[in-house]
Structures are given as structure tokens and as C-alpha cells.
Structure 1
Amino acid sequence: MNTRSEPASECIRRRRIGNRVVAYRVVGTGPVALLLLHGWPQTGKAWRKIVPLLKSHATMVIPDLPGFGASSRPQSGYDKMTVAATMHDLMSALGHDSYHAVGHDVGGQILFPLAKLSPNAVTSVAFIEAGIPGLGNSLASGNPFTGGSWHFGFNMVPDLPEALLTGREALYLRWIFHRDSIGLVLGDAIDEYAFDEYVQALAAPGGIRGAMEHYRALPTDIEDNRRLAAEGPSPTTALVVGARQGVGLGWLDSVEESFDHVTSAWIEDCGHYIPEERPAELAELLLRHWRFHESRTVEP
């Protein structure tokens, strides 16, 4: 049995935000407030390798998204507009009036509504192997006939994943992480300690349902994103990071359609799980992104 414990500064805290409880960690002492939103099927633990690289630059708030980890698993409210409002309320409750936001995978899908809902608070966003459903050519990402992954459809089916995956959570996650397409290139990047946390979170009561509800909300997300995009692009500075053996920059056009100032970058020899496979390269890109944002906002 693994008895490893976290440093006191990284212990999980829990706070009620509206009708849900959000688990989160606060790490770092740097001057930049940073919200880190993990992807599917993970928890805030996915950022564990980024934390030591940024702790002197940023004060990081690292939540488990609703439905994941130690956060509550409500019956509804998994559309990204609702999740974005919850994340902003968390940052406000912690005293962060302005902050940068970074999202990997499904966490990245929260960034556009977050920037639109809280334009005066969100100073920059970074999409890591992520984009905006319903915009650009992003619908192709869920179509296996156009290079997308079949798991989009499977995860969206009501009840069936819960029936098939209960008791088989480790088998499913190991397949997801080690699949030939979009899986890990560095096979040991997700160690057994982190893998066990992801499995335990999925196996907890309501865990499979909570994880899948983020996919089941996609039709609502698409409608919301198109409505928000019709209002005009966000002035927030945006970065899109793609992995050469992952999704890559397949979502880039959706972000370019939605933000005025967009830059992009590749990470080589890496699969979909950039924060765990290539944390040093990602940290450097984020620091460069923030410097670029600051250079744009300096008064002449």
C-alpha cells in the first residue's frame, strides 16, 4: 500500500462554491495568480511536475474539476459555462481579482467561457492540447472517421459507461493513457502513484458519471460557444500548445476564431499529456506567454 503524503503546502482544501464543493490546492508564492485546470480523466495531480517549476513565479490554484477527484459530483451543471463560473467564483473567494488560466484537454474547454464571463479578471489563457468545441473545425475531433477518438461518443452515451466500466476503471485508464494514437509517448510519465489517484477518483461513488458528464455536456457547450463567439472575439491573450504525437494544433482555428491575440507552439516527442510528459518545455512556454502578455499591456 502506498503511504506517500503530500507536503503541507500542497494538501487538498475544500470550499463550497454555490451548490457544489470544490477541492483544490494552493501552491507557490510568486506574484502571478494562476488557475490550472486539469484534463480528462485526471485530477489536479496532473500538474504535479509543473508546480516546482513555477512556484517562484506564480501562486497556483489547482482545483479538481467538478465530478473529479475530491470535488463533489453534482447531478447537473457540467456545461462549461457553469464550470467556468464555478472556477471564477473560487478564484474570487481566494482573493484573486485577476489571474492567468491554463487548461489541458477538457480543462481547456473551460477557458473561452471563462474569458467571456470574466473579461476583467482573466488576463491570459493557455490551451494545452485543447480548444473550443463547436468553433473552427473542432467537431472533427470527436469523429473517428476524420482522425478523432471513438471515446467521445462512448463517454457521451447515457448509463452505458457506468455499466461497463464499474470495477474496470484501471483497465480503461491504462488503455486510454497507453493507446497508440494520442496516448503517452513517454510511457512512465504517469507514475503508479498518480495513476492510482486517477483510478480511485474514477472508481469513487459517482466517479464515472461525473467524468462522463463533461462529455455529455458537449451539445450545450457547442451552443454556448457559438453564441459567445457571435458576440465578438475576446481581447484576452491566448496561447495554444500542441504535442507532435497528440492532438497537436487541430484546435488552433477554433481559438483563432475566438480571441484577438493568439500564438501557438509545438512540443516535440510528446503525446497528449503534456503537463506530465514535458513539464519543463511547457513551463518555459507559459513563462514566455506571460512575458508576451506583459509586453502588450505596458503603457507606451
Structure 2
Amino acid sequence: MKINANPANCYAMPSFNLLFKKCLTLLLMITLGLSAGTVYAQSTAKYSKAELSDAALIKSLPGFKNAYAEVNGVKLHYVIGGQGEPLVLLPGWPQTWWSFHQIMPQLAAKYKVIVVDIRGMGSSGRPESGYDKKNMAKDINDLIHTLGFQKAFISGHDIGAQVAFAVAANYPEVTAKLILMDVPHPDDTFAATLMLPALGTPTDKLDENHPFLWWFAFNQMKGMPEKLLAGRVRLVQDAVFKYLLYNEAALSELDREVYAAAYDSPGGVRAGNAWYQAFPQDIADYKNYNKVTMPVLGIGGPGYNWLNYVLPNKATDVKVVKVEGSGHFVAEEKPKATADFMIDFLK
């Protein structure tokens, strides 16, 4: 049946019987279409909102606690625990502080571990602006001083790695050592990201030699992604996880629901995408940074060659290691190997 796509036109049809049948069919189609995201979200949810909260998650990590600080015009949520020199961990997209939960206990045996939901992430504030990595570095610098520390080890994964490098570049006096996981700070290699996959390259699973980072472009769109994804953000997250994970079982159903809950709103999508929309400014800022002189460790999964290529351009003391058998999410796919690399470097 051919149906006029505008429901308002139903009122202008000449035959009442035809009008009734066509309008009823159209309304059913619209109703089912609009509810598809809701049905998907409800049918896959296995945990309540309370079970996905920071308060519930922290119970699985004895010795850690949730805390908040107001710095640089934003409220930051962080999780803190352990003893020793401070070690700051910064997560990436599309995750939260929870992405480090498997390595936090091992690290806390030697360091005061501070895992931060960066600006726009999780339980931290979602301001309308300030998502360039230079400004986000000020967030972390101010947090370190607010906690009473003068210097800290700084580590990050993905977007968090970009912020970590910006901390080192802008606040070298605060950065004792720097660890970047699988992703460098935005530079000209980001601007050269391909719009189309190479011929014959799969788009559902990463080919390390021909990466197709489609979300780099999608996340640049302002206003559209939050309208499309609110209520169904896990559809995109699952696609990204499938593409970037070597072992898809490394992320449990609980992990996936924690991350979906953190972004599954217009504000959550908007803030996460703002990190990507700041890339052009980040690239411009990077060109003005001097080489960092503190020791730098790159921990790479599929990003190993990328880190090897980029880091020597902006750091004088660099070591890059490969996490074998891991995809992009090294702290979750190979937690012990990742933590061992970190501890060996920091000591």
C-alpha cells in the first residue's frame, strides 16, 4: 500500500473508509518506528539504574571511594584509593572511570590512584564549552592541586590519553611521568583520517593496517547525534566495541550497560562528541607545544605503530610497548599485562 508520509494529509482524503484504513496503518507504522529505540533499550536492560550507579560500582573495589571537586568551572567526579605517590588515570570514549576497574586494585597496592571522569563524562559536569584538550588539562592540573599534590604520574586511554598529554605539555612541573594508552594527542595524522574504508576492508572489525574510524566524522555533527541516539546509544557503542575489541568477551554485560547508561541522553551524547569536535583546535594547539622532557610510556594495542610514529616528534624520552593479543581497550582486555607495564615504568 502506498501511503502519503504526512499524517496531516489523511484529513484530505476523499473516501472515509480508505481514509480510516490508510491513516490507521500509517499511525501504527509511526508508533512502532518511534518506539523502536525504547523497545530496544527496555528489552536489553538487565541492570537497574541503581545497580549501575557509582555508589553501587564502588562496592566492588574495597579501599576506593567516590568524591567530587569543583575546578576550572566544572564539577569533576573521581574515584580515589591506595597509598603512595599519586597516579591519575583518565578514561576515554565511550567509557567512564569504570574502564580501569580491573587494574585499579593492582595499582593501588603501590600508588594513590585517582581515576577521573573527565569533563563531560559520567558523573562529572557537562558544560556547553571547554572540551579542547588544553582546557581539559587545566581541569586535571587544578584537581591535582586541589587534592594537595604538587606532582603526579599522569596516564590516560583514548580521549583521556589526549588530555594526559596536554597536561604534560602545559603543566610539565606537575607531570612526573606520562603514560598514553593506544592513542596519541590529536595532530596532523588525525586530520588525515580516511573518510572511506580501503577497498575490501571490513567495517565491523578493525584491520590495523587499514583503520576506518567512522565515528571521528559522525561525532563532528552538532545537534544530530544526540537526537538520533538518545535512548539507543548502545547501538553505536556495541558497534564501536565490536570493531575495536580483539576479545569481545572482555567487556561484560555489566560493563556495557554502565557505559550505555553514562551516555544515553542528549547531554551525554553532546558532551562526548564535544571531545571530537575540539580536534581541530587540539591539532592547532599541539603544533605550538614544545617537546615534553619527562619519561613517556606508550602502551599500544592496535595503536602501537601509531604511538611509535607520533610520540618521538613531541617527547625526548619515549618507550612504546605492545600489548599482545589485545584490541584498543588494553586495560580491560589485558589488565594484568597493562598494569605490569605501568608499574615497571613508574618504579
TM-score normalised according to structure 1 size = 0.89
> Aligned pair 1:203/2:275, yes or no?
no
Q: Select the residue among 52, 55, 58 that pairs with 1:6.
A: 58
Deviations 1:189-219 (A, max 9, x none): 1112221111111014510000000000000
| Structure with more of its chain in strand, by fraction | 1
In the alignment, the residues of structure 1 paired with residue 325 and residue 196 of structure 2 have an alpha-carbon distance, to the nearest angstrom, of 23
In the alignment, the residues of structure 2 paired with residue 217 and residue 44 of structure 1 have an alpha-carbon distance, to the nearest angstrom, of 21
> Aligned pair 1:47/2:100, yes or no?
yes
In the alignment, the residues of structure 1 paired with residue 280 and residue 164 of structure 2 have an alpha-carbon distance, to the nearest angstrom, of 17
Q: Which residue does 2:74 correspond to in 1?
A: 20
Q: Select the residue among 232, 238, 245 that pairs with 1:174.
A: 238
Cα distance change of structure 1 residues 205 and 226 upon mapping to structure 2, 3 Å threshold: same
SS at match of 2:250: coil
Could you tell me the percent identity over the aligned residues?
A: 27
Cα distance change of structure 1 residues 97 and 78 upon mapping to structure 2, 3 Å threshold: same
Q: Select the residue among 96, 110, 123 that pairs with 2:163.
A: 110
Deviations 1:8-59 (A, max 9, x none): 6433211111311000010211x22100000111000100001111111110
> Aligned pair 1:100/2:156, yes or no?
no
Q: Which residue does 1:227 correspond to in 2?
A: 288
TM-superposed CA distance for 1:143, in Å, is 4.8
Query: For the Cα contact (< 8 Å) 1:156–1:216, is it kept in 2?
Result: yes
In the alignment, the residues of structure 2 paired with residue 142 and residue 18 of structure 1 have an alpha-carbon distance, to the nearest angstrom, of 35
In the alignment, the residues of structure 1 paired with residue 111 and residue 216 of structure 2 have an alpha-carbon distance, to the nearest angstrom, of 34
2:323 maps to a residue whose letter is: I
Q: Which residue does 1:241 correspond to in 2?
A: 299
TM-superposed CA distance for 1:106, in Å, is 0.8
Cα distance change of structure 1 residues 233 and 159 upon mapping to structure 2, 3 Å threshold: same
Q: Which residue does 1:79 correspond to in 2?
A: 132
2:240 maps to a residue whose letter is: I
Q: Which residue does 2:174 correspond to in 1?
A: 121
SS at match of 2:228: helix
> Aligned pair 1:290/2:346, yes or no?
yes
Q: Which residue does 2:273 correspond to in 1?
A: 212
SS at match of 1:39: coil
SS at match of 2:239: helix
Q: Which residue does 1:279 correspond to in 2?
A: 335
SS at match of 1:23: strand
In the alignment, the residues of structure 2 paired with residue 101 and residue 65 of structure 1 have an alpha-carbon distance, to the nearest angstrom, of 13
SS at match of 2:162: helix
1:48 maps to a residue whose letter is: H
2:336 maps to a residue whose letter is: A
Q: Select the residue among 246, 256, 264 that pairs with 1:185.
A: 246
Q: Which residue does 1:296 correspond to in 2?
A: none
Query: For the Cα contact (< 8 Å) 2:166–2:185, is it kept in 1?
Result: no
SS at match of 1:250: helix
Q: Which residue does 2:91 correspond to in 1?
A: 38
Deviations 1:228-272 (A, max 9, x none): 1xxx311111111111xx333213322111111001110111110
The aligned length equals: 281
Cα distance change of structure 1 residues 282 and 141 upon mapping to structure 2, 3 Å threshold: farther
| Structure with more of its chain in helix, by fraction | 2
2:282 maps to a residue whose letter is: D
Query: For the Cα contact (< 8 Å) 2:304–2:321, is it kept in 1?
Result: no
Deviations 1:89-134 (A, max 9, x none): 0111011111111110111111222112211110111110010211
Deviations 1:159-187 (A, max 9, x none): 121122122111111111112xxx21222
Ranked by relative contact order (alpha carbons within 8 Å, sequence separation 6 or more), the top structure is 1
In the alignment, the residues of structure 1 paired with residue 82 and residue 118 of structure 2 have an alpha-carbon distance, to the nearest angstrom, of 20
Cα distance change of structure 1 residues 194 and 63 upon mapping to structure 2, 3 Å threshold: same
SS at match of 1:249: helix
SS at match of 1:66: coil
Q: List 4+ stretches of structure 1 deviating above 4 A.
A: 141-146
Deviations 1:255-296 (A, max 9, x none): 1111110011101111100011101001111112113xxxxx
Query: For the Cα contact (< 8 Å) 2:134–2:166, is it kept in 1?
Result: yes
State the structure with more CA Rg. Answer: 2
In the alignment, the residues of structure 2 paired with residue 247 and residue 255 of structure 1 have an alpha-carbon distance, to the nearest angstrom, of 12
Structure 2: segments with no counterpart, 5+ residues = 1-46, 198-209
1:43 maps to a residue whose letter is: T
